[in-house]
Amino acid sequence: MNGQGEILPTPYAGIEEEIGVSLPLAKRIAARDASRRFWTRISTIKPSQSIRFWFAVAAPSSAGVILTDWEYSSVEVAIGLFSILTLLLIPTNLAAVFAKMSAKDRLQLRAQGLKSKASYPGVERIINTLNERILRERIRILTSLMATISLLAIINIETGQIVKTILVSLAIIFGAVSWMNTFQLEGSIPMRSKTFPLLSLHAPTLHDSILSNVLSEVLLVHLDPETASDWEEWVNSLSLGVRDGLTSESAVEEMLVSLHLNYRGRIDDDEMMSQIKRVFKVSTIDRLVDTNSKFNIDSIQRLLAHTRAWQPGLFRLTDRLQDSMINGKINFDDISWRMDVDLQPRCSDGQGALFVMLHNGGEADETVEVEIVTAEGEPEFQNFRLSAPRLQGDENQTLANLLNTSLVLWIGLAWPNSESGSHPVQVMLKGEDGVALTSMVVHTTLTSRLHPESVGMKMTDAAEEVRKLALSVQD
């Protein structure tokens, strides 16, 4: 011991050694995160969410019955329901407060000596979302408390019928406000994941239009700032753990392809591991199967499921490419150009994501132009001049190699808010001489309503996919 006290590990172990943060500060950070986990766990106990919802309905309803002068109506019962509701909302308020504190710590925005991630896309949105949640939590507990006080005044103060009616009406209004916020909040309690607590709060914003390591780059865009930073460090740490002739980026890309094929049921677990072992050395495989590692096969599969829920269009392209390869529709002797396009069937709020996948089956690399015409869009015409690598195929071609030699575009589309209904989008491939090589037209329906590929539903589905895979791993 050498006269020094034993230092127990914390969730932020290593901070002091790496960047010189004091031990007391590290302990405060760990304590805040522990409080966040505790109150979030209390708030998400299965019966508690339903109990809070039904008390939020029953409390104002019991106050409304008082105005009907029904013989079984009771001010005392209404007071009891509102009082219980107020107590039930204390854990959710504390969970929201500690969630914001923990998020700031994780994004390293408040602790001195820590490198801030404020420059990462999505930080502001995460903090604003948590601020809004704290505000809504405070509104619903305060309105529940004010409703209780209004009803208590009826008992403790001699009031006439008019004053009583006003106080009961106030209780009903306060109760209705509390219920509306409860309806908004209960289905989306944030930071419930132990491994990736900020992931469900993140929505992708900026991204490159041209993708190289397709799955890796799309996955990275959909990671929250904390996880994205850790992911980049983790990928860089694999440089000595990959097979000869590979980089850590290309090895991770091949692993993601194997994980996706395993998820789709195209290969079993043994074949998946066999493919992963072909690109990683034994030391890296040990890390990938270590359940204590933040990035292991199970957790990466969850991140991939999260990405798949956000951008199903890209994975539809990938699956169609796999099917074409299996069914022999990609003839490496005869093929000149292969182009596949995917646009979500419905686009909400005038925004959509277009994916274009190109394969050059010619004898040499070529420079091509991709023209995108979006009917009544903003802009209506887009042009990309690109260098398309030659497809180097053989009879033993794999999906990972096909993706590696593909040219993939991820284009954001937009329409004015006044537009609705079905709209066509044309994608035309032209050679270096300007001659059209191939063209495709896809359609999407513009709508303001929620649908399976709207942003709100994607965030919900992405969080649910991560949660389901996490539960299946625990089982």
More confident residue, 115 or 69: 69
**Among the ranges given (64-68, 139-143, 330-334, 441-445), the one the predictor scored with the smallest mean pLDDT:** 330-334
pLDDT at 316: 95
pLDDT digits over 133-179, tens only? 999 999 999 999 999 999 999 888 877 788 889 999 999 999 999 99
Statement: residue 4 has pLDDT above 60: no
**Among the ranges given (74-83, 130-139, 363-372), the one the predictor scored with the smallest mean pLDDT:** 363-372
Q: How far apart are CA 7 and CA 156, in angstroms?
A: 56
Q: How far apart are CA 433 and CA 429, in angstroms?
A: 11
pLDDT digits over 177-225, tens only? 999 999 989 877 888 887 888 888 887 777 889 998 999 999 999 998 8
pLDDT at 11: 46
Residues 6 or more apart from 57 whose CB is under 8 A from it?
Answer: 179
Q: What percent of the chain has pLDDT over 70?
A: 85
More confident residue, 250 or 17: 250
pLDDT digits over 233-281, tens only? 999 999 899 999 899 999 999 999 999 999 999 999 999 999 999 999 9
Mean pLDDT of 433-437: 88
Residue 15 — pLDDT band, cuts 50, 70, 90? very low
Q: Are 242 and 279 in contact (CB under 8 A)?
A: yes
pLDDT at 198: 87
**Among the ranges given (70-79, 301-310, 366-375, 457-466), the one the predictor scored with the smallest mean pLDDT:** 457-466
pLDDT at 9: 42
Mean pLDDT of 124-138: 92
Chain mean pLDDT for the chain? 85
List Cα–Cα distances, 74 to 70, 163, 164, in angstroms.
Answer: 9, 17, 13
Residues 6 or more apart from 364 whose CB is under 8 A from it?
Answer: 390
**Among the ranges given (27-31, 38-42, 266-270), the one the predictor scored with the smallest mean pLDDT:** 27-31
Q: Are 89 and 140 in contact (CB under 8 A)?
A: yes
Q: How far apart are CA 405 and CA 338, in angstroms?
A: 12
Statement: residue 355 has pLDDT above 90: yes
pLDDT at 303: 93
pLDDT digits over 388-401, tens only? 888 766 666 788 88
The CATH code of domain 200-474 reads 2.60.40.10
Give the 3-state DSSP-derived string for the chain, with helices as H, strands as E and coil as C: CCCCCCCCCCCCCCHHHHHCCCHHHHHHHHHHHHHHHHHHHHHCCHHHHHHHHHHHHHHHHHHHHHCCCCCCCCHHHHHHHHHHHHHHCHHHHHHHHHHHHHHHHHCCCCCCCCCCCCCCCCHHHHHHHHHHHHHHHHHHHHHHHHHHHHHHHHHHCCCCHHHHHHHHHHHHHHHHHHHHHHHHHHHHCCCCCCCCCCHHHCCCCCCCCEECCHHHHHHHHCCCHHHHHHHHHHHHHCCCCECCCCCHHHHHHHHHHHHHHHHCCCCCHHHHHHHHHCCECHHHHHHHCCCCCCCCHHHHHHHHHHHHHHCHHHHHHHHHHHHHHHCCCCCCCCCCEEEEEEECCEEECCEEEEEEEEEECCCCCEEEEEEEEECCCCCCEEEEEEEECECCCCCCCCHHHHHHCCEEEEEEEECCCCCCEEEEEEEEEECCCCCEEEEEEEEEEEECCCCCCCHHHHHHHHHHHHHHHHHHHHC
Residue where the block lists tokens 């709060």: 201
Mean pLDDT of 441-453: 76
Winning range, highest mean pLDDT, from 29-33, 254-258, 351-355: 254-258
Q: Are 76 and 154 in contact (CB under 8 A)?
A: no
pLDDT at 188: 78
Q: How far apart are CA 14 and CA 29, in angstroms?
A: 13
pLDDT at 118: 67
**Among the ranges given (7-16, 156-165, 371-380), the one the predictor scored with the smallest mean pLDDT:** 7-16
Residue ranges of the chain that CATH labels 2.60.40.10: 200-474
Residue 469 — pLDDT band, cuts 50, 70, 90? low
pLDDT digits over 305-323, tens only? 999 989 999 999 999 999 9
Statement: residue 2 has pLDDT above 70: no
Residue 462 — pLDDT band, cuts 50, 70, 90? low
Q: Are 438 and 337 in contact (CB under 8 A)?
A: yes
Residue 5 — pLDDT band, cuts 50, 70, 90? very low
Q: How far apart are CA 273 and CA 284, in angstroms?
A: 12
Statement: residue 92 has pLDDT above 90: yes
**Among the ranges given (175-184, 356-365, 366-375), the one the predictor scored with the smallest mean pLDDT:** 356-365
More confident residue, 468 or 74: 74
Q: Helix crossing, 455-474 with 297-310: angle to 10°?
A: 160
More confident residue, 361 or 99: 99
Residue ranges of the chain that CATH labels 1.20.120: 15-192
- For the record, the structure tokens of 293 come out as 């590692």
Statement: residue 59 has pLDDT above 80: yes
The CATH architecture one would assign to domain 15-192 is Up-down Bundle (1.20)
pLDDT at 18: 40
